Amino acid sequence: MRLFIGLPVFLLFGLSIGTAYAQGLGSEFRGTDDPAEIPRGVIDIDLTPGDNMRGLPQIDSAELQGFVEGATRRTLTAEEMAELFGQVSRNKNGDIVEQPAGDAFFAAPAIAPLELDPRNAEGGPETSALIDDLTPRSATPPNARRVGDGTVWPYRAIGLIVALDEFGNIEGTCSAALIGPRTALSAAHCFYDHDSGWAADVRFLPGVTDLDVFGPPFGAFGWEEMHIASAYMTEYDGTVLSTVPYDIAILHLDTDIGNQLGWLQVQMVDNRLPGYLSNLVGYPGDMPFGTMWWMGCPVNFIDQHPKFTFRQCVTAGGTSGGPMYNHQQDTDSRFILSINVAGNDEVSIGLTIDDEHFRWLSALWK
């Protein structure tokens, strides 16, 4: 397995700042206040979980420690970055396209890591639309609370990913966040499995809080393309840890629903801090199917792998791909700094949005 950890690319290329902010990747958009302007997706599938659901990738704690200790930092050459942060894509017709990182990746703006005020880095729980719930909890953190209204900000920009096999059966669920008009951010393993290949079909259900009782408030939306980082395939050595640093994916939707629901901003994390309180919103598989939950938990940067961080509580399958964001209450701003990708019964792991991941997302932003 090759593991290249690079210095910030802006040190290598001296690129200017601004394009991503003009596009919207590095800024927040809250959508429309008029419900009549929001298009509804169509429910054309049986939203019932199957018998063989994919779960959160399980890591071995002993292997994790050795992997972190063995990680080294080095500057990536342009060729190495092009190889690792290219993309493998599947479209609705089933066509698979592999390509190295190109001009859009290298021309993406270099931005400074988000500098959170250490006094405010802990943020706080999202109280709006949250409800107390006494459902017995297993893997989901004890402080988890159900989201009662998915039509309000920011919950309407977060949704359930349903992966389907070629027969239309649900084979897995994940979480995702809108980060652009047609762009949903999630984890690569939600769309591609190293043993069974690509999901045949997927649906994105934004803002759903109780699928059985209320259904999806905005419907289910289809897709045009799935994109995963090249290294998620090329670096795989049979272990989960070999691909965790690259477990990132983009789903391009067939509807620009983000222009109505809004989208969350993505920022590079400042790992000079000891950590921050992450707000993870998603759909834990050990909870009633299709219910949305908020989970607050510290993220630790100390002595950690530079491309992922330990979340000091565990989560269940279904939260994969969920946004891990910091909420700055004084400005009411939310910054996606990581996404939930793996774990075990001791710890969960978030993939850190660093310079290379930010560039990869910038190149695919729609």
- Does 2 reside within a domain? no
Residues spanned by the domain of 266: 10-29+52-364
Could you tell me the pLDDT band of residue 1, with boundaries at 50, 70 and 90? very low
Model confidence over 120-154: pLDDT tens digits?
Answer: 555 556 666 788 765 666 667 767 889 999 999 99
Cβ neighbors of 232 (< 8 A, separation 6 or more) are 88, 188, 189, 192, 243, 246, 247, 248
- For 246, phi then psi, to 5°, come to -125, 15
Using alpha carbons, select from 168, 116, 123, 173 the residue that is nearest to residue 293: 173
Model confidence over 315-356: pLDDT tens digits?
Answer: 888 899 999 998 887 788 899 999 999 877 777 888 989 889
Structure tokens at 200: 């045949």
Using alpha carbons, select from 190, 164, 157 the residue that is nearest to residue 47: 164
Reduced 3-state DSSP string for 38-83: CCCCCCCCCCCECCCCCCCCECCHHHHHHHHHHCCCCCCCHHHHHH
d(CA 311, CA 348): 5
User: Could you write out the DSSP letters of every residue in 337-358?
Assistant: EEEEEEE-SS-EEEEE--HHHH
- For 73, phi then psi, to 5°, come to -105, 135
Check residues 22 and 80 and name the one with the higher pLDDT.
80
Are the C-beta atoms of residues 313 and 295 closer than 8 Å to each other? yes
pLDDT at site 6: 28
Are the C-beta atoms of residues 147 and 293 closer than 8 Å to each other? yes
Are the C-beta atoms of residues 78 and 222 closer than 8 Å to each other? no
Are the C-beta atoms of residues 353 and 269 closer than 8 Å to each other? yes
* CATH number for 23: 2.40.10.120
User: Token pair 């905005």 is at which residue?
Assistant: 218
Model confidence over 251-295: pLDDT tens digits?
Answer: 999 999 999 999 999 998 776 777 778 889 999 988 888 999 998
Q: Please report the sign of the dihedral spanned by the C-alpha atoms of residue 153, residue 288, residue 211, residue 225.
A: positive
Query: Which amino acid is residue 204, in one-letter code?
Result: F
- Does 41 reside within a domain? no
- Does 3 reside within a domain? no
Count of structural domains within the chain: 1
- Does 294 reside within a domain? yes
Are the C-beta atoms of residues 293 and 210 closer than 8 Å to each other? no
For the full predicted model, state whether its pTM sits above 0.95. no
- Residue 23 burial (10 A CB sphere; 0-12, 13-18, 19+): middle
d(CA 215, CA 130): 18
d(CA 298, CA 205): 28
- Does 46 reside within a domain? no
What Cα–Cα distance (Å) separates residue 92 from each residue in 41, 65, 184, 220? 17, 40, 16, 16
Check residues 115 and 30 and name the one with the higher pLDDT.
30
d(CA 66, CA 70): 6
Using alpha carbons, select from 302, 307, 52 the residue that is nearest to residue 167: 52
